[in-house]
Amino acid sequence: MGANFLIVGRNSFLAGRFHALSDIAADCEFLTHQEADAATLSDLRSFDSIVNFAIDPGYRNERYTAEHDFDLRIATKVCTTDTRYVMLSSRAVYSRDRAMGAKETDPATGNETYYGRNKLETERRLVELLRERLTVLRVANIIGNEFKTGRRTFMGQALQRLKLENEILLDISPDVRRDFLPDTFFVRVLDAVLKHPCEGMLNVGSGLPIRVGDIAGWLLEGYGTGRVAVSDHRLHDEFVLNVGRLRSLYDLTCTRDEIANHCREIGHCLRRR
């Protein structure tokens, strides 16, 4: 039997983690974004679901254009089929005043960033195009072993600095609370969504307001040495998702201990490098 699911963006960090950890990886075909771009309708129509991890660099920090919208390009190819499209969106679609406890039913206006506004625009276009065959995962901060991945994420930068300078440098207050979820938990969620699809928007996070200082501290515990330095004590960009729908649909819960142990293991792996 051929693959049931198509994963686009084979070389991305998260697609790699999905390939390594997923229960259904054997039922998936993995393509690069170039291969998916070149694929025809006949190449794509046999898949039950398509998940895209690829993103155009210009999409993150430039005003929206359809040319930069890789999700739209793929979804347009399968809009006349029965294939479900799973879009990886972001918590950044929620406005700052909705950031703490945002629900899928709350108004989404973007969070004053190009990335947040662009994700929201893609969501709108895909809803119009695919209707009930669209699942949108509004994802919080996924954390994993991102040393030398090139990702400009909190975790990627923290690990680089810790390895090179024996410190984690924060440019925000350690008391800033954010919704972090381990990549292992994210894979469990995506497995569940592919096995038992849901329609519409779904917040994907831990639902827990975790201090940035706690994340840094757990990394240091695993690493066994180092310190936390703070260059700016501003309270900036706090957020936590309401994950009631996720728990109701899939009975999946991420605990504080799971996040702490995940960070300690990442620090321990960094020490062994």
The pLDDT value recorded for residue 1 is: 41
Tell whether the torsion through CA atoms of 236, 207, 142 and 166 is positive or negative: positive
- Protein fold of 5-141+181-204: Rossmann fold (3.40.50)
Judge if pTM exceeds 0.85. yes
Is 171:232 a contact under the CB 8 Å cutoff? yes
Distance of alpha carbon 20 from alpha carbon 61, whole angstroms: 30
Is 28:22 a contact under the CB 8 Å cutoff? yes
CATH 3.40.50.720 residue ranges of the chain are 5-141+181-204
- Protein fold of 146-178+208-240+255-272: UDP-galactose 4-epimerase; domain 1 (3.90.25)
Residue 94 is classified by DSSP as B
Is 81:46 a contact under the CB 8 Å cutoff? no
3-state secondary structure of 252: coil
CB atoms within 10 A of CB 162: 24
CATH 3.90.25 residue ranges of the chain are 146-178+208-240+255-272
Q: Which amino acid is at 144?
A: G
The per-residue pLDDT string of the chain (273 residues; one tens digit each, 9 = 90 and over) reads 456 999 999 999 999 999 999 999 999 999 999 999 999 998 999 999 999 999 998 999 999 999 999 999 999 999 999 999 999 999 999 998 899 999 999 989 987 899 999 999 999 999 999 999 999 999 999 999 998 877 788 999 999 999 999 999 999 999 999 999 999 999 999 999 999 999 999 999 999 999 999 999 999 999 999 999 999 999 999 999 999 999 999 999 999 999 999 999 999 999 998
